[in-house]
Amino acid sequence: MTTPTTDATRYYIGLMSGTSLDGIDAALVALEPTSAPRLIATHAEPITDSLQQTLLTLCHAHQVSFADLAFAEDAFCRQQAQAVKKLLAQQGISATQINAIGSHGQTIEHAPSGHAGGPAYTLQLDNPSLLAELTGCTVVADFRRRDLAAGGQAAPLAPAFHQVIFKQENTQQLVLNLGGIANLTWLPKDTTHPIIGFDTGPANVLLDAWHAKHQGGRYDNGGAWAASGQVDQPLLERLLREPFFHQPPPRSTGRELFHLPWLESHLNGDEQPCDVQATLAELTAISIAQGSAQLPLADQPVTLIPCGGGAHNPYVMKRIADHLPHATLASPSHFGWPEDWIEAGAFAWLAHQRLHQLPGNVASVTGAKGPRVLGGVYAP
């Protein structure tokens, strides 16, 4: 992360806070006309327990007051600004050297097929006007809704960036993001096939929630608790009946489907908690394997690039590797992108795409009618 920059270097900051609600990731990225995006520096701003609770409540609320929404948005935006300021201070860079911040915002609800017959929507809590004011930087935000307006799922958006940073000639690659939700990006060997990418289902969102309920703390470190349990096969089969797992791509999902009450509605009540955790790890692995089986050429050798916080969970990674015997693992760090910084990096790159009037989506991934320039620009 210390490669020298040149005069033509353009700095962007990507801000991402995902479904795990664990923190705001800020990535400083150098984008030069002739080379691949480079990660220069990073800062993770933890989301305080109280803001995490507020956001969780919003995600699962049936009714929300405007005042609560405004309170959460303001608190979230101020933590984003903190993240930017710390990143800049750490690098001795001024706001004027930043071309733009790409702000994903916090997804509160994602309903790409609408709800109860209503219009499709995806809702990210974000206040790009305030962020521009607090940081003095141009902010690009609202990346998902243009893809949705063009008939797409609005997610996942990272596949375009995966192609930019990972693509190698004559190699079939599968990028796996193990966040709250897991998603796959298939980068085909040749250009006769389009890129495919989709959410496969829950990953840490359920593992974290079940662990918090029974063990406390934010996550099952290393998957040790899951490893102490036995997979409950009948429970696994009941969970796998969920129609989302059987949908063809394009598909995307979130906390609105995969939450603790969803899990609890499938329990008999006599399960050992550690066995449920082992079953959730297995559900993550099997739904990824089933997703990969939906891809063309799925049984041929493939390079699997694991990203996201779940890549730090050796138990889940072992279960995935066992279900994908044709895959050879390659660390994203070999490509200059450590696993925890790819999504934030993607939003820096998406901001650059927006400022240059270039498309941010991949229509073959999201199902949109075509490539679209994503996001709105907020001047400093």
Ligand X SMILES: Nc1ncnc2c1ncn2[C@@H]1O[C@H](COP(=O)(O)OP(=O)(O)OP(=O)(O)O)[C@@H](O)[C@H]1O
Ligand Y SMILES: CC(=O)N[C@H]1[C@@H]2OC[C@@H](O2)[C@@H](O)[C@@H]1O[C@H](C)C(=O)O
Pick from 155, 207, 281, 316 the residue near ligand Y by CB under 6 A. Answer: 155
Strand, coil or helix: what is 199? strand
Q: Between residue 106 and residue 125, which ones bind ligand X under the rule CB under 6 A?
A: none
- The reply to whether 19 sits near ligand X by the rule CB under 6 A is yes
Pick from 43, 110, 319, 354 the residue near ligand Y by CB under 6 A. Answer: 110
Q: For helices 66-91 and 128-135, what crossing angle results, to 10°?
A: 30
Structure letter (DSSP) for residue 223: G
Which entry of ligand Y, ligand X, none binds 232, CB below 5 to 8 A by partner kind? none
Amino acid at 303: T
**Cβ atoms of 190 and 288 closer than 8 Å:** no
- The reply to whether 80 sits near ligand X by the rule CB under 6 A is no
Assigned token pair, 47: 């989301």
Residue count (the chain): 380
Query: Considering beta carbons, is residue 229 or 310 the nearer one to ligand Y?
Result: 310
Query: Considering beta carbons, is residue 111 or 227 the nearer one to ligand Y?
Result: 111
Which entry of ligand X, ligand Y, none binds 202, CB below 5 to 8 A by partner kind? none
Pick from 35, 90, 94, 221 the residue near ligand X by CB under 6 A. Answer: 221
Strand, coil or helix: what is 191? coil
**Residue window 166-185: x/- pattern of binding to ligand Y, with contact defined by CB under 6 A:** -----------x-xxx-x--
Which entry of ligand Y, ligand X, none binds 157, CB below 5 to 8 A by partner kind? ligand Y
Structure letter (DSSP) for residue 248: P
Residues whose CB falls within 8 Å of the CB of residue 192, separated by 6 or more in sequence, listed in order: none
Pick from 254, 306, 332, 345 the residue near ligand Y by CB under 6 A. Answer: 254
**Cβ atoms of 186 and 252 closer than 8 Å:** no
Residues whose CB falls within 8 Å of the CB of residue 349, separated by 6 or more in sequence, listed in order: 12, 14, 29, 31, 37, 102, 160, 161, 164
- The reply to whether 45 sits near ligand X by the rule CB under 6 A is no
Q: Between residue 175 and residue 214, which ones bind ligand X under the rule CB under 6 A?
A: 177, 179-181, 204, 207-208
- The reply to whether 217 sits near ligand X by the rule CB under 6 A is no
Q: Between residue 314 and residue 373, which ones bind ligand Y under the rule CB under 6 A?
A: 343
Dist. CA 242–CA 237, nearest whole Å = 9
**Residue window 297-336: x/- pattern of binding to ligand X, with contact defined by CB under 6 A:** -----------xxx-xx-----------------------
Name residue, tokens 């390079």. Answer: 303
**Cβ atoms of 21 and 58 closer than 8 Å:** no
Amino acid at 310: G
Helix, strand, coil fractions of the chain, as percent rounded to 5 = 40, 20, 35
- The reply to whether 306 sits near ligand Y by the rule CB under 6 A is no
| Residue ranges at the known binding site for ATP | 18-25
Q: Which residues are at the interface with ligand Y (CB under 6 A)?
A: 18-19, 107, 110, 122, 155-158, 177, 179-181, 183, 199, 252, 254, 343
Binding site for ligand X (CB under 6 A): 18-20, 22, 177, 179-181, 204, 207-208, 219-223, 308-310, 312-313, 343
